[in-house]
Every structure is written in structure tokens, then in C-alpha cells.
Amino acid sequence: MAQWSWTRQQKKPMQCWGWTPCHLPESLFSLDSAGANIPDREEEDYTEPEAVEADPAPTEDSNHTDSQKSPKVNCEERNVTGLENFTLKILNMSQDLMDFLNPNGSDCTLVLFYTPWCRFSASLAPHFNSLPRAFPALHFLALDASQHSSLSTRFGTVAVPNILLFQGAKPMARFNHTDRTLETLKIFIFNQTGIEAKKNVVVTQADQIGPLPSTSIKSVDWLLVFSLFFLISFIMYATIRTESIRWLIPGQEQEHVE
């Protein structure tokens, strides 16, 4: 697998990963933006995570050699003794993803980059909310890509939803499947880590409610409003200047005749 270091990428509009792109103001992805509360750590080198698709689940008559294939990522399973409530943690604007990842450990974390106004993120939400119950030994985080702009740029998130598997603080694999359901996510995690999901875990009514919202938030696209205002103002200014030039030219010709 080809590898290269993570570098600052050219800023692109954020898209909602699906048929219809959802654009964000390009200024949101400036690493020098005043609203960015994330420390700039781009001096560190990162390996491009492997983009993989969830392979079909192995059938009962599958070859034992395939079923015993060693996992691509060796995850240290966390101690869940005494833990009863396994839920997804959503980072707010002031929280840094790197503070929740252990650079010296080998425990694994599945991180979702989403935006609240993207309907594809909303449709994925109930399935992602149920994952902590299916894999209690793993960590699950979600963050708003529009609020964590430097992290989005750093990890190549130009479209949402984007799911990355981390081992410690290192991105190891990217979920790259158009069918984003609990079952495909289970298969993806199993193929990468070798950890099997708990049985009888399904998407419940509580997963529809939260922690990640399953309904997209409609908001005013202020970038579009500003763009339209600027365009209309420019057209009006150009029209006025053109009319002024037309009035000046005949006057200049009359002076030359006299």
C-alpha cells in the first residue's frame, strides 16, 4: 500500500458525501481562522489511512484460512469491567481530538467527521450511535467537521460523513462504502481489527434520538447570501459607471468640434 506523509492540503469546499454536495464557507477551513480552537500540530507526520470497503460477511462454509486471517490493525481492547453504559462521545468546539487519542497506546478509536446540516450524516447517525454497544472494547468519537476545521484539513476530510479508524493517534483505515449501515460498519471493524461485534445489537429507538442527531438541521447559507449581495452590488455599480461613461463621451466630442 502506498504511503505518504500528511501535509496541508489545498482548501476545498466541504461536501455532504452523497448525490448532492453541501458546501461550507471556505474560510471555515483556514488553519489561521480566528474561530479555530484547535492547536496546529501539522508538524507531525501521519500515514495516509487505507481506504477500504466492507467486505461481505463470511459464510458458514467459508474456508477456515480466510476466517483465521490476521487482522490488519492489532487493537488493545479496553477494560470494560464495571462499565454499563456504552455511548458515543461528541466533541464540542473547544475539545481537541488529539486529547482523546493515546499516542503511546494501541487502543483503537473510530472517529466520525460529520456536519449537522448534511442529510447523509443524519441518516448514518442511528447506526453509528449503536456501535458502542456492539463493540464495547473500542472507543467511538464524533466531531462537527465545520467546527474542527484544522482537523478536517489535516485528515483529508473534504466530504462528510467521513469515518476513520485510529490506532492510538495514528489513522489506519478509512471507511469507504456507500452503504453506511450498522451491518456494514460491523464488517468493516471486524475486517480491520478482528474484533467481533456483540450479538443481538440492533438500531433502537433511542439511537434515533441521540447522541448524534438523526435529523439534519436547516440553516441559512450565509456564504450564498453574501455572494448574492456582492454580485448584485457589483452589477449595480458596473451599470452606473457604464451610464456615466456614456454621458461623458458625447460632451467630449462637442468640445473638439468647437
User: What are φ and ψ of residue 164, in 5° steps?
Assistant: -120, 140
> Class of 15-209 per CATH?
alpha beta
Q: What is the pLDDT of residue 67?
A: 44
- What integer pLDDT is reported at residue 45 of this predicted model? 42
Segments making up each domain of the chain, as ranges: 15-209, 221-258
Q: What is the pLDDT of residue 71?
A: 73
In angstroms, rounded to a whole number, what is the distance separating the alpha carbons of residues 182 and 187? 9
Are 137 and 80 in contact by the 8 Å Cβ rule? The answer is yes
Structure confidence at residue 49 (pLDDT): 55
Cis before 58? omega within 30: no
The per-residue pLDDT for 3 is 43
Please identify every stretch of the chain with a pLDDT value under 70, giving residue numbers as ranges: 1-69, 152, 156-157, 219-224, 247-258
Distance in angstroms (rounded) separating the CA atoms of residues 28 and 11: 10
Copy the grid coordinates of residue 51.
481506504
What is the reported pTM?
0.61
